[in-house]
Chain A
Amino acid sequence: MDVITIEGTEYKVVAERPKSLTDTPFTYCPGCNHGTTHKIIAEVIDELGIQHRCIGIASVGCSVFSYEFFDFDFISVPHGRALAVATGAKRMRPDSVLMTYQGDGDLAAIGTAETIHACNRGERVTCIFVNNAIYGMTGGQMAPTTLLGMKTTTSPLGRDAKRIGWPMKMSEMLAPLQGAAYIARVSMHDAKHILKAKAAIKKAFRAQLEDKGFSMVEVLSNCNVNWHMTPQEGVKFIEEQMTKNFPLGVYKDVWQEEAAKQTAKEEG
C-alpha cells in the first residue's frame, strides 16, 4: 500500500482505485454496480498479481467498453460469444488468465449455447456474469432473468410466466455440469456482500490458475436507471427481491468436492 504524508503525519492508503484499472472514469450511470463489479475484479487481479497475464473479453451490453477501464489486453467480441472467444484464446495461451465480462442478455439469452458448452468443456476461463435482470444498454427491455411481474419496455404489463417463462437461473443450471469448478452467486447490495463477492471472484480466478476448470460468478447487480429507481432503491430491490428469486451462495466448489472425496477415501 502506498504511504503518503499529510501535514507531517504518514498515512497509508487503505482504499483507492485498484492498479488494474486505467485512469479512465467509468461511463456507467451513477450508482451502477457495473462499476462496483469492475472495481472488485481489479482488486482481486491486483491481489493475485496477475494483471499483466490477463486477457479480458468485453461482451455486448452496457459493459461493451469495459476494455477502456481494465488495464490489460482486451478484445471486444460479438453479443453472446465471449466464452467461445475466451476458449480459443485460452487454448492457444494456457499461461494467460482469461476473463469474460457478460450481462444477462449476453450470457443467458443470445450466448446460452456458448456458455453451457464452455462450462461443460471445463474451459479454464473465468466468467463474470452481471445479472441486472434487464437489458441495460438497449434501454430496459426484458432479460431472461427479469423477475416475474417486473415491468420492462418489452413486458409493459409485467413479466408473465405463462407467456414468456420464468427467470433463468444460470448458476443452478451450470453447477451440475462436470466441467464447472467454481460457480457462485453474489450480490452488490451492501458492503458486506460486496466483500463476499470479491472473495468469490478471487476463488473463481484461483480455479483457473489452479487448472481446475470453468468458473463463473453471477453478480446480482442494479440497473437503477432502467428499473426507474434511485441507486439506493436499486440496491434495496436487489436485497429484497432479486435475492429471493436468485438465492445467493456457492453452487459448485471443486475444492470442497475434492476434500469430501478425500475424506470419504480416508474413511472408506
Chain B
Amino acid sequence: MPMIEILDDACKGCLLCVPACPHELIHNTKAKLNKRGLYPVEYVDPDGKCTGCRLCAIVCPDAAIRVYKEVKKKSA
C-alpha cells in the first residue's frame, strides 16, 4: 500500500499540501509543535487510500513529504 511520511521538523505548516491531496489524507490537526515551534500537518490514512500520486510532495515547498510505494514482487 502506498503511503507518505511527513518530516515533522521540516514541515512549516503552510498547508499547501492539504488541498493538494485528492483523498484528503493530510490534516491540519495542530496536535504537536515541531522543533521550529510550528504545527506540522498530519497524514491520516486508516483505510489505506493513498495512491502514492505524489501531488502532496510536489507542492510542498520544504521537501517535507516522503512518498513510499511498495516494491512489486515479480510474480513467479
List residues of A whose CB falls within 8 A of some B CB. 3-4, 6, 9-18, 21, 25-26, 28-36, 39, 190-191, 194-195, 230-232, 235
Question: Please, which residue of chain A has its CB at the minimum distance from the CB of B4?
Answer: A15
Residues of B within 8 A of A13 (CB): 66-68
Residues of A within 8 A of B58 (CB): 15, 191, 194-195
Given contacts A25-B62, A28-B61, A232-B15, contact A11 B68 (CB under 8 A): yes
Q: B60: shortest Cβ distance to chain A, in Å?
A: 8
Q: B23: shortest Cβ distance to chain A, in Å?
A: 14
Do residues B20 and A4 form an inter-chain contact, with CB atoms below 8 A? no
Given contacts A14-B52, A25-B10, contact A36 B68 (CB under 8 A): no
Do residues A191 and B66 form an inter-chain contact, with CB atoms below 8 A? no
Do residues A35 and B69 form an inter-chain contact, with CB atoms below 8 A? no
Given contacts A30-B38, A231-B15, A232-B15, contact A14 B63 (CB under 8 A): no
Q: B4: shortest Cβ distance to chain A, in Å?
A: 8
Q: B8: shortest Cβ distance to chain A, in Å?
A: 12
Question: 16 A-B residue contacts at CB 8 Å?
Answer: A6-B68, A11-B68, A11-B69, A11-B70, A12-B69, A14-B54, A16-B66, A17-B63, A25-B62, A29-B12, A30-B13, A191-B55, A194-B59, A230-B15, A231-B15, A232-B19
Residues of A within 8 A of B38 (CB): 30
Q: How many residues of chain B have a CB within 8 Å of chain A?
A: 28
Q: Considering the chains assembled together, what is the distance between the CA atoms of A30 and B9 in angstroms?
A: 13
Answer whether residue B31 sits at the interface, using C-beta atoms and an 8 A cutoff: no
Do residues B13 and A10 form an inter-chain contact, with CB atoms below 8 A? no
Question: Please, which residue of chain A has its CB at the minimum distance from the CB of B11?
Answer: A30
Given contacts A31-B16, A231-B15, A231-B16, contact A36 B69 (CB under 8 A): no
Q: A75: shortest Cβ distance to chain B, in Å?
A: 24
Residues of A within 8 A of B26 (CB): none
Answer whether residue B76 sits at the interface, using C-beta atoms and an 8 A cutoff: no
Do residues B61 and A36 form an inter-chain contact, with CB atoms below 8 A? yes
Partner of A14, one of B10, B62, B68: B68
Residues of B within 8 A of A12 (CB): 68-71
Partner of A231, one of B9, B14, B68: B14
Q: B38: shortest Cβ distance to chain A, in Å?
A: 7
